[in-house]
Amino acid sequence: MSLIKLLRKQNRKLLFTTPSHAQKFFIFNKFRQFYKYDISETDTHNPQAALSEAQNRAAKIYKTNYTYFLTNGSTSGIIASVLACTKKGDKVLIWRHAHPCHHNAVVLAGCEPVYYDLPSVKDWGIPDKTTPELINIKGVKAVIVTSPSYEGIVSDIKSLKQICEKNGAYLIVDEAHGALYPFSDKLPQSAVNIADFTVQSLHKTAGGLNPTALLHVNCNINPEKALSMINTTSPSYPLLASIEANINYLNTSKGRKKIDGLITSIESMKASIKNVDFGGDDITKILIRKEGFTGYQLSEKLFDEFGIEDEKTNEISTMLLCGIGTSSMKLERLKKALLKL
Ligand SMILES: Cc1ncc(COP(=O)(O)O)c(C=O)c1O
């Protein structure tokens, strides 16, 4: 049974259970629909079984051993991965300037962090990719790599996996910004079928609600116990159902066409702009720089004169994030602004 269908079912039983709003008492009236679908594990329709089936179907779509739906972001996926594949006292190799959840995961697991540094792409002011040499360290139980980076720099996950295998370490890939990758050949290769654990934030680029995300497992470690240690026992079924709908959409020809349409629109926008430079490995992250401007000046000008807010800026460049919901009208406005710079 699909989670989405299950939530639509009317419950005719007299439930003396949580949640106490009983799908009928709307304290925040604007969220009526949300309350209506907000059921508990105790619901007689057995939502746990439907969740488990939905996750199994997702694993088939992604061709993974397991895929778990997360309602506390990629953050919880990283923590669960580290908890699942390490023991107290193990060493875990992480990038010194990674998202804070990497360090927090290592600390929560009682492990010892070992750091690696990334060189920078000097003429863009951003961190470069992770290479096998940078993580070729013996005696670590797991390695966490961020790919793509915030700015769309993508590492060669296959070669990273090979080096991890040689050193007997699990590879955890933070693909928080790459949730669209499995659904288009025009995007970089996803880590979901290569790394031992891959996390993706659906809410960042794939149209998901905050903070929906996925944890994909490619090895034979089942992270269920680790997940149960950090997750609530009262998950949000509306959010979980939205994850099921999200994956189903991305996996339809309509969803794939939408992603390809986004890529084509960005490609044509880029082709018509000659007065700024474009960088990065992922076309959906529009990384720009302009001679005579620092990244901060460029960002300020875009905001002050054109009302355009970027996602991330550094001394040299600025990045405008696109995702499945970025309309061609929005890109057209960006194009006009960039041409006027
Ligand atoms: C690279 C990276 N990893 C992990 C996270 C955490 O993701 P979430 O917000 O889905 O927990 C973020 C969030 O900004 C991020 O940028």
Pairwise CA distance, residues 155 & 299, whole Å: 27
- 303-325 tens-digit pLDDT: 999 999 999 999 999 999 999 99
Domain locations in the chain as residue ranges: 3-250, 256-340
- The gap from C-alpha 233 to its chain's centroid, in whole angstroms, comes to 23
Residue 77 CA to ligand 1 center (angstroms) comes to 10
- Output Rg (C-alpha) for the chain, integer angstroms: 22
- 309 C-alpha to ligand 1 centroid (Å): 19
- Per-residue pLDDT band for 268 (boundaries 50, 70, 90) equals very high
Q: Region 180-196: what's the mean pLDDT?
A: 98
Q: Distance from the CA of 212 to the center of ligand 1, in angstroms?
A: 11
Residue tagged 């694993």 (tokens): 59
Q: Is pLDDT at 8 greater than 90 in this prediction? A: no
Q: Does the pLDDT of residue 44 top 90, yes or no?
A: no
Which class is 3-250 in CATH?
Answer: alpha beta
Average pLDDT over residues 263-284: 96
User: Ligand 1 pocket test: which of 99, 130, 210, 282 has the largest number of ligand atoms within 8 Å of its C-beta?
Assistant: 99
pLDDT band at 203 (very low <50, low <70, confident <90, very high): very high
The residues lining ligand 1, judged by C-beta closer than 6 Å to any ligand atom, are 73-75, 99, 101, 146, 150, 174, 176-177, 201, 211, 213
Residue nearest to ligand 1 atom 9, measured at CA = 73
Share of the chain above pLDDT 90, in %: 94
What does the alpha-carbon distance between residue 44 and residue 62 come to, in Å, rounded to a whole number?
Answer: 30
What's the full length of the chain, in residues?
341
| CATH number of the domain located at residue range(s) 256-340 in this protein | 3.90.1150.150
pLDDT over 90 (residue 10): no
pLDDT-derived band at 42 (thresholds 50, 70, 90) equals: confident
pLDDT number for residue 14: 85
Ligand 1 atom at shortest distance from the alpha carbon of 77: 11
Residue with tokens 């992480």: 94
What is the residue-averaged pLDDT of the chain? Answer: 96
pLDDT for 45 beyond 90:
no
